[in-house]
């Protein structure tokens, strides 16, 4: 069993995720699916 490595997102990637949600009104669930994030990580 191998452990998954932790992914690191650049500040630009984080800004793009937030921009998609706040400005383009994309639901958090869709943003998280595309970025392979858990919603709790998105809100953190």
Question: 36 lies in a domain?
Answer: yes
In a domain, 4, yes or no: no
pTM score of the predicted model: 0.75
- Contacts of 28 by beta carbon, 8 Å cutoff, 6+ apart: 21, 39, 42, 43
Per-residue pLDDT reduced to its tens digit, 30-42: 999 988 888 998 8
Q: Is residue 2 part of a domain?
A: no
Q: Residue 32: give the domain boundaries.
A: 11-43
The CB-side HSE value for 44 (13 A sphere, CA atoms) comes to: 6
Q: How many domains does the chain have?
A: 1
Note down pLDDT in tens along the chain; length 44 residues. Answer: 678 788 888 999 999 999 999 999 999 999 999 888 889 988 88
């Amino acid at each position: 069993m191998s452990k998954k490595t932790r992914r690191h997102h650049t500040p630009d990637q984080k800004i793009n995720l937030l921009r998609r949600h706040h400005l383009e009104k994309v639901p958090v669930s869709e943003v998280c699916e595309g970025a392979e994030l858990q919603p709790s990580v998105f809100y953190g």
